Structure 1
Amino acid sequence: MGPAPARRVALLGGGFSTDDDRLLDDWVLAQTPAPRPRVCFVPTASGDADAYVEQFLDAFHGRDCRPSVLRLFRRELDDEELRTHLLSQDVVYVGGGSTANLLAVWRAHGVDRLMREAHSRGALVCGISAGANCWADACHTDSFGPLTPLRDGLGLVAGSVCPHYDSEPGRRASYRTSVAQGRLPAGWALEDGVGVLLENGRFKEGVTRSRGSRAYRVFPNGAALAEERGLTCRPLGR
């Protein structure tokens, strides 16, 4: 029996839904050794919005991969077909929307268990916004309106995640306060335009498509605002 596959999660601050240059999506595809990786888009957090699905298909058709979409609001696969499909993927790419709704729907269909199994078998699981939040123990989310700590994730990433760290008013200060007060555990903060690859629970690489965009580790330090430590991010493209 060979060594266990690496367990990898990519937290994205961009991708096909926000960027035209495809740099972060190209980086995601490059993380798998498969010559034509299977990439399944899971748009649950948006309610399987048709426009979002079409945006994914437009972005990934014609690229050197095999794209598919897993819809749960108009589900067509039975339990065994659903398991077979998810476990055959090289990349599971989760879209943005409501983190709380995504987690509830996944649990209703048993997809939370399948995501953990796919991750343990070596699939790269990734996503933007809610699609980054869902993998962690906890996150900072606007699923309930105001920014709120949510300790309800899948636990594939230890600690918490906060997306849109530089682009949504109040995110940065609110997240740092939540970590400082112990309402959220220490975690990962993503500015728009960055990607963070975690392998076996450890930081492996940070990348950025935008000059000046950063990712951070955020820790409690006994002060009113938690401490930020910037991560080295390799520029993508030219």
Structure 2
Amino acid sequence: MRQIIALGGGGFSMEPENTLLDTYILKQSGKENPKICFIPTASGDSENYIQRFYGFFQNQNCRPSHLSLFRPPTRDLESYILDKDIIYVGGGNTKNLLALWKDWGLDIILKKAWNQGILLAGISAGSICWFEEGVTDSFGDGLEPLHCLGFLKGSNCPHYDGEAERRPAYHNLIGTNKIQAGIAADDGVAIHYIEQEISKIVSSRPTSKAYRVYNENKVVETELPTEFLGAQKG
């Protein structure tokens, strides 16, 4: 079973006191003590980001590790990745992430991992990267479309409610046919794909949602059913 969990925002890096999305990801591996590997390429392998990852996941029922392309743990990246149960990709610059992955052949390895049933997850750049296209600020000035890996169909826009310019920019790009229709996710939302279809949408915040956005002579935004994970604790 091929799974991808795409986070619009949230998780250990954005809301460290709210564990709902990250514990949800861990459960989906189906393993009691899953091996989870963090790939922080998009942040330039930020040491602070890596430490925050360990700060959370070392206290969970899992075996955390990370893959730095600036300080690779091994020459055999394929064996390293395919030994894991979950790959968790961090946020940052999606364009640089894709360029480095392709140069190292990591895009091919990750597709193999996905096809072998290793759960792929990620936030922001780590969400956009799995789709055919994404809305990114990687170019430094404004929001633009970017061609990505294409494991999932359509486009993706994270931080939909968290950054004021995201929603109008996504609407404009879809309305002018500069990017294809897709899925937008608020901060605190995770879209869980099984194979290439949405299986479930969950959130760590009561009002956070995901939306299908498309062009039908005008831009249409349809709210998708989203389950607030905190409701289970009541």
TM-score, with length taken from structure 2: 0.95
For 1:211, the aligned partner's letter is P
**Equivalent residue, structure 2, for 1:59:** 56
Please report how far the alpha carbon of residue 167 of structure 1 lies from its aligned counterpart in structure 2 after TM superposition. Answer: 1.1
The CA deviation string for residues 127-163 of structure 1, in whole angstroms up to 9 with x for no partner, is 0000001001000000002101112x11111011100
| 1:165 partnered with 2:165 | no
CA RMSD in angstroms comes to 0.9
Per-residue Cα deviation, 1:95-131 (whole angstroms, up to 9, x for no partner): 0000000000001111000010000000111100000
Return structure 1 stretches of 4+ with deviation > 3 angstroms: none
Range that drifts further, 135-144 or 169-178: 169-178
Deviations 1:14-56 (A, max 9, x none): 1100111211000001111111111000000000000000000
Amino acid corresponding to residue 18 of structure 1 in structure 2: M
Counterpart for residue 3 of structure 1: none
Unaligned stretches of 5+ in structure 2?
none
Secondary structure of the equivalent of 1:164?
coil
CA–CA separation in structure 2 for the residues paired with 1:88 and 1:118 = 9
2:206 corresponds to 1:211: yes
The residue matched to 1:114 in structure 2 has which SS? Answer: helix
Give the Cα separation in 2 of the matches to 1:182 and 1:53.
37
CA distance in 2, matches of 1:76, 1:207: 33
Q: Which blocks of at least 5 consecutive residues in structure 1 are unaligned?
A: 1-5
Counterpart residue number, 1:147: 143
Aligned length: 228
State yes or no: 1:76 paired with 2:73: yes
- 1:177-192 map, 5 Å: 177-192=172-187
Q: Partner residue of 1:102? A: 97
Identity %: 42
2:44 corresponds to which letter in structure 1?
G
TM-score by length of 1: 0.94
> Residue in 1 aligned with 2:12?
16
Q: Secondary structure at the match of 1:219?
A: strand
